[in-house]
Every structure is written in structure tokens, then in C-alpha cells.
Structure 1
Amino acid sequence: MQPQYETSRLLLSVSHPDKAAGVLEFYERNRDFLEPYEPVKRPGFYSLDFQRTNLTFEYNSFVKARHLRMWMYLRDRTDVPIGTICFSNFLHGAFSSCMLGYKTDKDHLQQGYMTEALSFLIPLVCREYRFHRIEAYVMPDNEPSIALLEKLTFHREGLLHDFAQINGKWENHYIYTYLT
């Protein structure tokens, strides 16, 4: 797996700590938009030091083939990301699976960027890491995310009750799967 790829409109990249300012800007700009769908952030999350440390951890996890977070940049503007895609919880052997998460900048929604990025990355990740199954969890009221997963041929397997604590409250989630 390479640390960087290009699609027709995007640069997809595992970010180094030197990109922490742009990552922090992404999170700050999208804070109100993303928080209803995410766990409560740890103290210091919205700081440059936290983002540098996190990017270092994520880069090292990529090198060790344990975790993959790609940041999405427009090809003509690579200083501030417009989204991120994370493949995590790598399981090998009999399970051969991972979990998928993603976020898009509020100002870049409904333009096909996430579809473009995931259409490129999902087959690549399945091939490179030999995954048979990718799981994604989505809150039942997150219609844009449900539409995206279904467009990418993920199949809804069921409803998980009180699956994750989101914004301080236990929430139900649908489980979607992509099988190779």
C-alpha cells in the first residue's frame, strides 16, 4: 500500500505531522457539522499538538499495516483536507475484515468526492490487505451516508441497538457490509 494516490479530482494521502495545521483547520471548520455523529472528543483534540501526535500515531500504524487513514485533498489545493477516510480494526486470519469510517467537509458535500475516493480505495484496500469484508456503521437518520454506502454496494445486515455513544448519548446504528 502506498501512502499517496491520485484520482481524477483528488489527492488521497496518509498525512504526516507537518500537515497538522490543515487537519486542525478541517476539524475546527466542521466541528458543529460533525459532532452530532461522533463520540465526544478527548480534551485537547482541537489543538495543534494533539493533531501532530495523532498524525504521528496514524502514520506509524499505516507503516505497520494496522490502520489506514487517508486524507482527501483537492488536487489543486493540498494544504487543507476536504475529508478523511479511515480503515480500522484490522482483523486477519479467519475474519479478514476491517471497519470503515469517513467524513466530508461541510462545504464539499454532494459533489461526489467521497464516492470517488471510496470507489478507488475500497478495492485497493481489499486487495492490498486481503480483506474479505468491510463493515460500516451508520446512524439510521444519516440518510446521505446510507445512500453513499448503498451506492457503493454495501448491504445492510441489521440494526445494532445502543451500539455507540455518540455526542454523549447511546445511539442505534445500522451495520453495512461490503464483501469481496
Structure 2
Amino acid sequence: MIQMLPGSFVPVLNDGELRLRCVRLRDARELEAVLLRDREWLQPWEATLPGDEGRWDVRAGIRSLLDLAGQGLALPFVMSIDQTIVGQLTVSNIQYGAVLSASIGYWVSKDLAGRGLTPRAVAMATDYCFQQMKLHRIEICIRPENAASLRVVQKLGFRYEGYRRGYIHIDGDWRDHYCFALLAEEVPEGILNRWRAGRVDESVARVTWPT
């Protein structure tokens, strides 16, 4: 189910109890509480700024995301259940014209990890990008050590494309990433429907290099 909040370019996506909606400035306190509570769980996968040892500013981060959303360059979602925030998912680096692509990044609170919420959220956002925005390619880049995120792309059948050395500054240093992608024509029935119907070929996500 797709809705649009008044004054927002970001849709509201619903699947059962799981809701994706645009992040808001008034979410800052709740988001910060979750990030602090799950600090040990999330810190190894958090993007950082080279040379910046200052405390992260949640409100400034939200403002930046909303500015990108206003330009049509990002879809900054929070994941919620019963109006409680349980994670974030951001569609970023949206490109138009001859490229029609975007990237997806996400996190979920520790106490809800492993319950299938993240693959559902990724599938919902990907379906919206393909079916409503008419994008052609969605990419997800993951640290080799992040077994939980690697399981998400495997479940959804994102294809392994390669190894990016020193790709993103994460947790205080430049980290290598595996790259996975999916094309719109690979999932004409929708990625969420394909997953639920058990038609995903998980082998396409197998990492083949480096060994």
C-alpha cells in the first residue's frame, strides 16, 4: 500500500505491521535513543567522516536527508511498527536520465534483527523505485564482515557484482565492500512478491571474488 503525506515527496509504504515513512525532524530524539541503546550493535556499520571525531548530530543528519529528498535525490525512510521507530532505510544517490539508478542502505534495531523486517523493507523500497519511479537499477554495498546484511541480499536475490576496496568510510576507517545489484526487468512481478512466492535464486548473491 502506497500513500503520500501532505508536503512530502517521500511515499508511505505499508506491508502488514511494517511501515516505511519519511524521516522527520521530530524523530530525532527517538532515533537518537535507539542509536544509543544499540550502539555496540550498530557502530561497526555506521558511516563516518574522515578526520571528524565529533559526536554525531542526528538532527543535522535528518536535515541533510530532507534536503536531498527535496531535490529528488533520496528517499529517507524510517521503519516503524505500531508507530515505534525500529530502523532506517535510505534510497540515496538517485540518478535520472540515461542512468536511472539508486543505492539502498539500512539498519534495524538489535531486538528486531533476524525477524525478516529488513528484507521486507528493502523489497518494499525497491519495488517502489522500480514500479513508481521507473528506475532501472538498485545497488546495495555491504562490508564483507556484515553477515546479517549479506543474508538480506541473498534472500532477495540481489546479484553479486564485485569488490570495492576502501569504498566507504565506516566506523573510523576506509572499508572494503561487496557490491550487489538488481535490475527492474529481473523482477517484473515485484521483488516482494517473488520472495514470498519462493522464486528467488539465492545463488546469484554468492561472492566469487576475492576468496
TM-score by length of 2: 0.75
Question: In the aligned structure 2, how far is the partner of 1:98 from the partner of 1:5?
Answer: 18
Shift of residue 58, structure 1, vs aligned partner: 2.2
Mapping of residues 58-137 of structure 1, within 5 Å: 58-74=65-81, 76=82, 78=83, 80-137=84-141
Shift of residue 87, structure 1, vs aligned partner: 0.6
CA distance 1:57–1:171, shift in 2 (3 Å):
closer
The SS at the match of 2:78 is strand
Determine which structure has more spread, i.e. the larger CA radius of gyration.
2
Q: Deviation string for 1:112-149 (max 9, x for gaps)?
A: 11122222221112223221011111111212211111
Residue 143 of structure 1 pairs with residue 147 of structure 2: yes
Q: Is the 8 A contact 2:13 2:124 kept in 1?
A: no
Percent sequence identity is 25
**Which amino acid is 1:126 matched to?**
F
Q: Deviation string for 1:57-104 (max 9, x for gaps)?
A: 323432332111110111x2x1x4111111101111121101110101
**Which amino acid is 2:112 matched to?**
H
The SS at the match of 1:82 is strand
**Which amino acid is 2:140 matched to?**
A
Mapping of residues 4-23 of structure 1, within 5 Å: 4-23=12-31
Residue 54 of structure 1 pairs with residue 86 of structure 2: no
Q: Which of 1 and 2 has higher RCO (CA within 8 Å, sep 6+)?
A: 1
Shift of residue 164, structure 1, vs aligned partner: 2.2
Residue 166 of structure 1 pairs with residue 170 of structure 2: yes
Question: In the aligned structure 2, how far is the partner of 1:90 from the partner of 1:40?
Answer: 21
The SS at the match of 2:168 is strand
The SS at the match of 1:81 is strand
**Which amino acid is 2:61 matched to?**
N
CA distance 1:40–1:111, shift in 2 (3 Å):
same
**Which amino acid is 1:141 matched to?**
E
Question: In the aligned structure 1, how far is the partner of 2:141 from the partner of 2:134?
Answer: 21
**Which amino acid is 1:165 matched to?**
H
| Number of aligned residues | 173
Shift of residue 177, structure 1, vs aligned partner: 0.4
The SS at the match of 2:62 is helix
Point out 4+ residue stretches in structure 1 off by more than 4 angstroms.
none
Question: In the aligned structure 1, how far is the partner of 2:145 from the partner of 2:39?
Answer: 19
Question: In the aligned structure 2, how far is the partner of 1:116 from the partner of 1:35?
Answer: 23
Question: In the aligned structure 1, how far is the partner of 2:144 from the partner of 2:43?
Answer: 16
The SS at the match of 2:132 is helix
Kindly report the root-mean-square deviation, in angstroms, between the aligned alpha carbons of the 2 structures: 1.8
